[in-house]
Amino acid sequence: MYEKVKQTADYIKDRIAVLPETGIILGTGLGGLISQVSEQTVFKYSDIPNFPVSTVEGHEGKLIFGKLSSKNIVAMQGRFHYYEGYSPYQVTFPVRVMKELGIKRLFVSNASGGMNPAYGIGTLMVISDHINLMPNPLTGPNDERFGVRFPDMSKPYDNELINLAFKVAGRNSITLEKGVYVGTTGPTFETPAEYRFFRIIGGDAVGMSTVPEVIVARHAGIPVFGISIITDLGVENKIVEVTHEDVQREGAKAEIKMTAIISEMLSEL
């Protein structure tokens, strides 16, 4: 695996002027932040050696280098999912490449269903912890060049970045919640019984992404900040039929606030 990661990173290094310090992974319907990135160098996933190709509507399939809040970043406009048929290794491959490119931190975002009864459509939830119900991407032989065999996960999400997010949100009169994200394989949306179960085991929101990338980032020693936009509700008596288009639409509505928080956080790092 390391050889493929290095081959991909070397391909990119030969085609960009400045290496990124921050990686950003944008979830369903959340690609608008890219419009704030200046001095862009854009790669289609299909043009990058060893990269999978995103197949989901709302995921553009572009790797974008540039500046956001005067900081050098690399952003994935569209991610890969286990439910697309990709292996956990393929889903998390871009994080390995970002590490090889030298990122010092990773920001991840997603659209998710809210189980916490205090949440509504459009709520922004900073992820404080997660529950992994997907195959672990570290299963199999371990390459010490990526990280240790048994990585610690007592702090999957960086407390300093979380505190900074709430500081920025307070200055901008943006309400943030903090909660636990449950990662499932998908592609089905949850049944009412599943929503109840996820709430019982400690979940505040549920989605089909993010957790594999976070596990691999932490394996590599990269601090992570995660944020979810609640696009549908899994609260009893509030559950309605939901479509992927609904998720995209609601994500886009709340994205402006999320973009403002991430941009201002970067300016202070």
Contacts 24+ apart (CB under 8 A), 146-152: 146/1, 146/2, 146/96, 146/99, 146/216, 146/219, 146/220, 147/219, 147/220, 147/221, 148/219, 151/215, 151/218, 151/219, 152/218
- Are 168 and 264 spatial neighbours (Cβ–Cβ below 8 Å)? yes
Structure tokens at 166: 């709430």
Angstrom distance (rounded) from CA 208 to CA 237? 23
Whole-number pLDDT of residue 35:
87
pTM of the full predicted structure?
0.93
What pLDDT is stored for residue 73 in this prediction? Answer: 97
**Which tens digits make up the pLDDT trace of 174-213?**
999 999 999 999 999 899 999 999 999 999 999 999 999 9
Strand partners, 183: 132, 207
Residues 25-52 have pLDDT tens digits of: 998 656 678 888 999 999 999 999 999 8
Per-residue buried b or exposed e for 97-132, using 16+ beta carbons within 10 Å of the residue's own CB: bbbbbebebbbbbbbbbbbbeebeebbbbbbbbbeb
pLDDT of residue 15: 96
Cβ proximity of 167 and 143 under 8 Å: no
Report d(CA 91, CA 85) in Å as an integer. 10
Instruction: Please identify which residue in the block is written with the tokens 């403002």.
Output: 260
Q: Phi then psi for 56, rounded to 5 degrees?
A: -100, 135
Spatial distance between the Cα atoms of 50 and 45, rounded to a whole number of angstroms: 9
Domain count along the chain: 1
Nearest CA-CA partner of 127 in 68, 199, 211: 211
| pLDDT for residue 55 | 64
Q: Are 100 and 48 in contact (CB under 8 A)?
A: no
220's tokens:
């590599």
Domain that holds residue 10: 2-268
Q: What is the CATH number of the domain that holds 226?
A: 3.40.50.1580
What is the pLDDT, as a whole number, of residue 247? 64
- Confirm if 172 and 260 have CB atoms less than 8 A apart: yes
CA-to-CA distance for 131 and 162, rounded, in angstroms?
A: 18
User: Can you name the residues that pair with 107 across neighbouring β-strands?
Assistant: 24, 225
Q: Where are the beta strands (DSSP E) in the chain?
A: 22-26, 38-44, 62-68, 71-77, 105-114, 124-132, 176-183, 205-207, 224-233
Element (H, E) at 262: helix 244-268
Q: What is the pLDDT along the chain (269 residues), one digit of tens a residue?
A: 899 999 999 999 999 999 999 999 998 656 678 888 999 999 999 999 999 876 655 456 899 999 999 999 999 998 899 999 999 999 999 999 999 999 999 999 998 999 999 998 889 999 999 999 999 999 999 999 999 999 999 999 999 999 999 999 999 999 999 999 999 999 998 999 999 999 999 999 999 999 999 999 999 999 999 999 998 888 776 666 667 676 667 667 778 899 999 999 999 99
